[in-house]
Chain A
Amino acid sequence: MGWKRYWDIILYRTYAELKAEAQLSYMGYVWWVLEPLLNVILFYVILAYVLEQTTVGAIGFLVVGAVIWQWFNASVMGAANSVIDAGGMLRQIYLPKMVLPLILILSSTWKFFFLLVLLILFVWVTGHPPSVSYITLPILVLLEFMVIVAFTLPLAFVMPYFPDARVTIEAILRSAMLVSGIFFPVEKLPESYRLYFHLNPMADLIEAFRAVLIDGQWPRWDLMAYVGGFSCVGLVLAIWFHNLVDRSMVKAIHR
């Protein structure tokens, strides 16, 4: 009983989500890789050839940023409506509402692991062999997971009360992508803006993954400590909010 059962439900549903996605299209698993790949190619073509931006640098720089962002983006997009969409079910049985976004976060995490392996192979063949700093990768992955959960849970819980937010999420994520440094290194920013840039945990994580995967350097520990602290505070607030509205949220879902 209790948390063991909810954990089993999460794993079972995650498995079902992944299976469904793979089966409901002809190319199945291939899309997990193809979709982000097409995005990256699009970015690259627009930036390097259409806008003739010399700052874009190597495609590896862009690819790392895009893959790291993709995990965050897919989780938030997928999980934001998870509570609303489960309205009918939630009127019949009790589930802690955090179970629902976690299912979608875990399924996008599984896909991210596929992409991460391919990403490492890609940067390797394009001339950035693994270095000793790779040992920090599990920490970076864990940090990003915490950031994703800290952002996504409250969002999914707020949605039943503000259905209008549904429309704006995509636009907000797109703007967030632009300021997370996928297309440019922080050095391109004027000195006075860099502090604000680093307040964004996703920007810090993208920078850290690049340091490790491309430059073979250690991530900036001060920034990683900030990201860790940020996500811990976020998680505590998310759980507090969850417990506050867990047994009234259902009444706010109107479909």
Chain B
Amino acid sequence: MGDVLISLDKVGVCYRRAQGFFKSAKSDFWALESLTLQIPEGETIGILGRNGAGKSTLLRLIANIIRPDRGKITFRPKLCTTLLSIGVGSHSTLSGRENAVLNGMMLGATKQHMMKSLERIKEFSELGDFFDEPIYTYSSGMAARLGFATALEVDPDVMLIDEVLAVGDSSFQHKSATALKNRLKSGKTAVLVSHDPRTILDLCSSAVWIENGVALAEGKADVVAKQYEKFMSSGAPHPAIIPSV
């Protein structure tokens, strides 16, 4: 096990629900109750859980987008963690080339790095001459290919992946999934969120199962995935989301 890059110590995140002026104020909702987790260098950690379990909130914490309302999260200094997202902050009047630079910078890469990566992005995205056309002329598949190729060139210290593993048509889906798998297997530190235990089993070395903002199980990916599957197939009712006081 490598150095710990990110460590979460009993973190909780609270959302204040949208309120009208005249409504009572007691509607805090803890999306994460108390979670302790360590992310060691070079490992791919899977986060399992149902919809509303707190997975996305956890990713936002790790991506340093929000701070916990209680508990503590520590990052190794100068750590770059980025959610692998497709086409974030893109601008429809800019060309594919310009958007690749812009998206890359949004995801944490420097301008110089993106300029150097442009040819690889052009090739991987299979856009050909469209690469220099404004992206409002793109089909949604083309935009997704550009976004994926760009995100792949950004090389953060910790890569965060939220469900999306495949974009585009079936041949590009295969190509993008393979590229991503290779990246993960090559010793990239990553956190992968999914509600599908098979994905986790396939790609992760260890896993955490969260439910209602707390970790129910933690350990080797195969063990946790099995527990989760058993729980799900037992037809457990979806527990009501109870706002804590």
Contact = CB atoms under 8 A, between A and B. Distances in A.
Contacts of A94: 63-65
Interface stretch (A15-23, A45-53, A105-113, A229-237): A15-23
Q: Is the interface of B mostly helix, strand, loop or mixed?
A: loop
Contacts of B111: 5, 8, 12
B25 interface: no
A12 B88 CA distance: 14
B76 interface: no
Given A16-B98, A247-B65, A93 B106 contact: yes
Contacts of A188: none
A250 to B, nearest CB: 6
A89 B88 contact: yes
A115 B89 CA distance: 29
Nearest to B69: A248
B102 A5 contact: no
A127 to B, nearest CB: 42
Interface string B108-128: 111100000000000000000
Given A12-B101, A20-B93, A248 B83 contact: no
A206 B89 CA distance: 36
Given A16-B93, A19-B94, A92 B102 contact: no
Contacts of B63: 92-94
Q: Is the interface of A mostly helix, strand, loop or mixed?
A: helix
A210 to B, nearest CB: 38
Interface in A176-196: none
Contacts, number: 77
A166 interface: no
Contacts of A93: 63, 65, 82-83, 85, 88-89, 106-108
A185 to B, nearest CB: 42
Interface of B: 13, 15-16, 18, 60, 63-67, 78, 80, 82-83, 85, 88-89, 91-94, 98, 101-102, 105-111
Which 5 A-B residue pairings sit nearest by Cβ, starting from the closest? Answer: A16-B91, A20-B93, A247-B67, A92-B85, A8-B111
20 contacts: A4-B110, A5-B108, A5-B109, A8-B105, A9-B105, A12-B101, A12-B105, A13-B89, A13-B91, A23-B93, A89-B88, A89-B89, A91-B60, A92-B63, A92-B83, A93-B83, A93-B85, A93-B89, A247-B64, A252-B16
Given A19-B94, A23-B93, 12 more contacts: A1-B78, A4-B110, A5-B105, A5-B110, A9-B105, A16-B91, A20-B93, A86-B89, A89-B88, A94-B64, A248-B66, A250-B60
